[in-house]
Amino acid sequence: MRFPTRNPFARAAAHRAMARAALFSDSSAAVRLKRYNHHMSKARRLESREIGQEVAQ
């Protein structure tokens, strides 16, 4: 179940922070890169979705 957030940009910022943390985790380089890319793509998706909604209004 998804819960809407009051500020999607805050959620995107959290994903960017998780992406940076993934780079310094105690895992292999492949796993760190995979986690980084996953969180950055989510952050970009959230930001683009929010920007698209602002333009539509």
* Mean pLDDT, the chain cut into blocks of 10 residues (57 residues total): 72 96 97 98 91 62
pLDDT attached to residue 7: 83
pLDDT attached to residue 2: 63
Determine phi and psi for 29, rounding to 5 degrees: -60, -40
Under DSSP, the state recorded for 24 is: T
Three-state SS string over 24-39 comes to CCCCCHHHHHHHHHHH
Note whether 14 and 39 are within 8 A (CB).
Answer: no
Look at the pTM and tell me if it is higher than 0.85. no
pLDDT attached to residue 32: 98
pLDDT attached to residue 19: 98
pLDDT attached to residue 34: 98
Cα atoms found within 13 Å of the Cα of residue 40, Cβ hemisphere only = 11
Beta strand residue intervals within 1-57, DSSP E = none
